[in-house]
Amino acid sequence: MNRPAVFITGAAAGIGRATALYFAARDYHVGAYDIDEVGLTRLAAEVDGRGGSLRTGVLDVTSAAQWAQRLTEFHAEVGRLDILVNNAGILRAGPFESVDLSTHRAIVEVNLVGMLTGTHCAFPYLRDTPGAQVVNLCSASAIYGQAELASYGATKAAVKSLTEALDLEWERHDIRVIAIWPLFVATAMVAGMETGTTKSLGVRLTADDVAAGIWDVTRKRSRLPRVHYEIGAQAKVLATVAKYAPNWVVRTANKYFSGS
């Protein structure tokens, strides 16, 4: 019960898997959840082989009932919830009108509604764990709307706002809510994807880079609260430009990088 606990969604592959391995290697009790049972089985075998502590379970993040069940099971076993990592997400690229409406809706359901649902369900467990944290996976695509990634960028912009609001609301409960901002990461999510921005900026981050970033920022507590953390030099530069440059400059830069 004294070992800290982290609950990670989308943990069967990519960033979620790397994060589960990273925390398990550092004496966390890890809850790894995904719709991919095969991927979870492989993850469990690797963590077990390294002597780590891991619980897995099938979780469709769009289902409130599944969220409630998985969180109840995890908390019953470990007695706490120090960190919730909302990582599960999907991405589909292409001109807005050429992507099926059902696909646009699925992106919103998983990336935004799934995160909102899980965070809401997790609140009692976070509240009852001193110093609890929520880590939301945002994206540099939310800095300014990205051509060919319209729905994805829109969900991440909403995640940005949700993160900021909850960090304000839940401060009184000693719950910190933060957002992680990588640019493109070399995972199956972007494998084979070609957009103007991936061609011009490349895919320079690995899942391990992001996992290490999540670990680092969850160690940091300062007197001056900070909500957003960019991962990688490119994301930091783009965020700084967007913060201080006139809107027309940011728009022009995004148009250039996307080849629009």
| The two three-digit tokens of residue 124, written as one number | 């009692």
C-alpha angle 52-50-13 in degrees, rounded to nearest 5 = 80
CA distances from 46 to 20, 24, 29, 140, 206 (A): 11, 10, 14, 31, 19
Count Cβ atoms within 10 A of the Cβ of residue 22 and give its class: 0-12 exposed, 13-18 middle, 19 or more buried: buried
Handedness of CA 194, 198, 200, 203 (dihedral sign): negative
* DSSP run (H or E) holding 185: none
Annotated catalytic residue 229: no
Instruction: Round to whole Å and give the CA distance between 33 and 47.
Output: 14
User: Nearest-CA neighbor of 35 among 12, 8, 6, 5?
Assistant: 12
Set 22, 144, 152, 229: catalytic member: 152
**CA terminus-to-terminus distance, the chain:** 53
Cβ-based neighbours of 256, under 8 Å, separated by 6 or more: 200
Are 13 and 36 a contacting pair, CB within 8 Å?
A: yes
Please identify every residue annotated as catalytic.
152
